[in-house]
Chains A and B, each alone.
Chain A
Amino acid sequence: MFYLQLRNELWKLFGKKRTYIGFFMFLFAQNVIALVFRFTQASRPMERMLEMSGHLAEPFISVLTIATIMLVPAAAFLLPLYVALVGGDLVAKEAEDGTLRMILSRPVSRFRLLVVKWVAGCIFSLLLVLALGVFGLAFSRLYFPWGGMFVWLPENGIFGVFEAQTGLVRYVAGHLMLVTEAASIMCLALLFSCFNVKPAAATILALSLIFVSFIMEHIPYFKDYQNWFFTYHLHLWQFMFADRIPWWRIGQSLSLLIGFNATFLAIGMASFHMRDIKS
């Protein structure tokens, strides 16, 4: 039964055109970024940085390096937008369209319904991150050769130079961790979607909270309190590109994200359970 209900939820989700906006935008954005890198001098500062650190630049101006550069802004700005859009729709859109009332005339518990929707949202998040990773590699490969990986993420003090093989492993691991960011933002939007609000309001509320957390995290005077900010823990995927992976930091953020997600789901569940569903 759970499998059938999950399958139904995925049919509903992937039957809608708006679900694919994220996939198309990644396709577009990554293609454009790769083109700009290929046909401009945009990679020159990177080459200088590599040479100053004693590396030959050419082997590192590669598929993996360009794909990782493209990943950073996409993960910071585009990914939260698309997962929040889908998470905000999951309950609120059904309530708005009236289909939620049709579902809840059936002997299915609200708890079960929400769990099914959450799992479907997580699957979407996984697929979107997968698309981000695959498109990144595919479009970079069109214009750049295979080779080593160079990553510079100054905010977290990450300066990584890897062989192609190790770089690919780090790239895959980074995306696996990025799924936690996508799923957490989706879960936050799902929480707001459980309230009696329009789908757009749920999405905007979730994104607003993300932005507020991001702003607070970046106020220099709040540096001592960074651990309290949701977005601080969302960046854990970046540590997969560190020379030495700080597993303690990843473990800490992962456990906190699990806590955040459980809290979002519990509040959403309580709100959804108490709500009167009317036409």
Chain B
Amino acid sequence: MKVTGPSELSFAEGASSRSNRLIELRGVTKRFRGRLAVDDLTLEVPAGEIYGLLGHNGAGKSTAIGMMLGQVWPTRGEVRVCGHDVMLRRTLALRQVGAIFESPAFYDYLSGWRNLEILSHYTAPTSRQRLQEVIDWVGLTGRERSAVRTYSHGMRARLALAQALLPEPTLLILDEPGDGLDPEGIHEMRETILRLHRELGLTILLSSHLLNEVEQLCTQIGVIRKGRKVFEGPTAHALQSRNWLRITVPDFAAADRFLRQEGLIDESRDGRCVAMSEGISSEAIIRRLVEGGFRVSEVARDEQTLEDFYLSVMRQ
């Protein structure tokens, strides 16, 4: 996997602004009638980053986002957004936050313009000029006076983006924004997120099942399993957390046993890849295999995808 240009840029920027965290969850637990949805979750989203929140369905991602937005009350722990405690100072905390949910809901019988007016006035009075600016930015010009029920799925997604951008946010929370979009829509969403990050300098929290999108967009990721955080760190670190080597030998199982006995690898997968132990080079592995009498016909570094990493974390 190769981290794209904008992500590298923002990662570098993010490193210099670690002290400025826009989202902080500290030891947050949430129970719904005895069922544990989020368990002692601690999570940090530094300013300037695109943070990917990953996890299976029901892992607790949406509950965590609900707590960030003050929609779900934590059973225990502290949630801070933009430096303010969400439970105590919700209005201050959310003043510069925009949010988009999967299948965004609107007043379908009203126009897009009227919907934007309604939603933006819950933050602050919004001028017609600002409304028009945002409508132009998301590409809804000409359709803003039509009833939302006539909008396509893509147009609804744009309207959702417009309502999130109206309060001039510094933080954008996206909960499964690609859900239900076709490949073209997903591509457009990815480009838009990068544009928002690049042009408006927004910090973005992205909860998604689309691992490929997260891999291309996010500079930081957090993985949640059964309400608990199992990984948090830079995406680049997640992808390099194992040095995987793809080797082609007539008897992979024998080679695997041999290399493990020699202490050169930690694990193997797919009947063709081995994870080199720390400090071990690929040259050392090839040499020992040849010395051990294995006929090696191909050796290549196997770059781990986010999907590989995610699945390995989930299997632990």
Which A residues contact B (CB, under 8 angstroms)?
1, 4-5, 8, 11-12, 15-17, 97-99, 101-109, 113, 274, 276-279
Looking at the complex, which one of A98, A103, A107, A113 makes contact with B103 (CB distance below 8 Å)?
A98
Q: Could you tell me the distance between the alpha carbons of A125 and B102 in the complex, rounded to whole angstroms?
A: 35
Using CB atoms and an 8 Å cutoff, list the residues of chain B in contact with chain A.
Answer: 32, 62-63, 66, 69-73, 90-95, 97-99, 101-107, 109-110, 114, 117-119, 121-125, 163, 167, 173
Q: Are B94 and A106 in contact (CB under 8 A)?
A: yes
Q: Check if B101 sits within 8 Å of A101, measured CB to CB.
A: yes
State the CA gap A277–B122 with chains docked (Å). 17
Supposing A99-B106, A107-B93, A277-B72 touch, asked if A1 and B124 sit within 8 A by C-beta, the answer is yes
The answer to whether residues A107 and B105 also contact, given A1-B124, A101-B71, A102-B119 and a CB cut-off of 8 A, is: no
Given contacts A11-B114, A108-B91, A277-B66, contact A1 B121 (CB under 8 A): yes
Q: Which residues of A contact B32 (CB under 8 A)?
A: 276
Q: Can you list 7 pairs linking A and B with CB atoms under 8 Å apart?
A: A1-B125, A15-B107, A97-B105, A98-B103, A105-B98, A278-B71, A279-B102
> CB-CB < 8 A to B122: which residues of A?
5, 103, 106-108, 113
Contact present for A279 and B62 (CB under 8 Å): yes
Q: Chain A's nearest CB lies how many Å from the CB of B70?
A: 7
Look across to chain A and name the residue whose beta carbon is closest to the beta carbon of B163.
Answer: A102
Closest A residue to B32 using CB positions: A276
Chain B residue with the shortest CB-CB distance to A1: B125
Chain A residues with CB below 8 A from B163, complex form: 102
Give Cα A99 to B118, complex, Å.
11
Residue of B nearest to A9 (CB): B118
Cα of A278 to Cα of B124 in the assembled complex, Å: 24
Query: Which residues of A are found within 8 Å of B63, using beta-carbon distances?
Result: 278
Rounded to whole Å, the gap between the CB of B83 and the closest CB of chain A is 14
Tell me, rounded to whole Å, the shortest Cβ–Cβ distance linking A115 to chain B. 13
In the complex, number of A-B residue pairs with CB atoms less than 8 Å apart: 90
The residue of chain A having its C-beta at the shortest distance from the C-beta of B119 within the complex is: A102
Task: Indicate if the CB atoms of A98 and B99 lie closer than 8 Å.
Answer: no
A278 to B62, alpha carbons, bound, how many Å? Answer: 8
Instruction: Select one of A16, A106, A274, A277 contacting B119, CB under 8 A.
Output: A106
B107 and A99 within 8 A (CB): yes
| Given known A1-B121, A4-B125, contact A277–B107 (CB-CB < 8 A) | no
Closest beta carbon of chain B to A2's beta carbon, Å: 10
Q: Decide: A15 near B110, CB < 8 A? Known: A1-B125, A106-B119, A276-B32.
A: yes
Q: State how many angstroms separate the Cβ of A260 from the closest Cβ of chain B.
A: 29
Contacts of B69 in A (CB 8 A): 104-105
Chain B contacts for A102, CB-based, 8 A: 101, 104-106, 119, 163
CA of A31 to CA of B71, assembled, Å: 48
The 6 closest A-B pairs by CB, nearest first: A98-B105, A106-B122, A105-B99, A107-B94, A107-B91, A108-B122
- Name the CB-closest residue of B to A7: B121
User: B71–A11 contact, CB under 8 A?
Assistant: no
Q: Determine the chain B residues whose CB is within 8 A of the CB of A103 once the complex forms.
A: 119, 122
* Nearest B residue (CB) for A97: B105
Contacting residues, chain A, for B103 (C-beta < 8 A): 98
For the complex, give the distance between the alpha carbons of A5 and B90 in Å: 18
- Please determine whether B121 and A5 come into contact, CB atoms closer than 8 angstroms: yes
A5 closest partner in B (C-beta): B121
Residues of B within 8 A of A98 (CB): 101, 103-105
Residues in B whose Cβ lies below 8 Å from that of A101 = 71, 101, 105
CB neighbours (8 Å) of A106 from chain B are 94, 119, 122-123, 167
B95 near A105 with CB under 8 A, answer no
B91 engages A109 (CB within 8 Å): yes
- Rounded to whole Å, the gap between the CB of A6 and the closest CB of chain B is 10
Shortest distance from the beta carbon of A279 to any chain B beta carbon, whole Å: 6
**A16 touching B94 in the complex, CB below 8 Å, given contacts A1-B124, A276-B32:** no
A8 contacts B121, C-beta separation under 8 Å: yes
Known: A97-B105, A99-B107. A8 touches B71 (CB 8 A): no
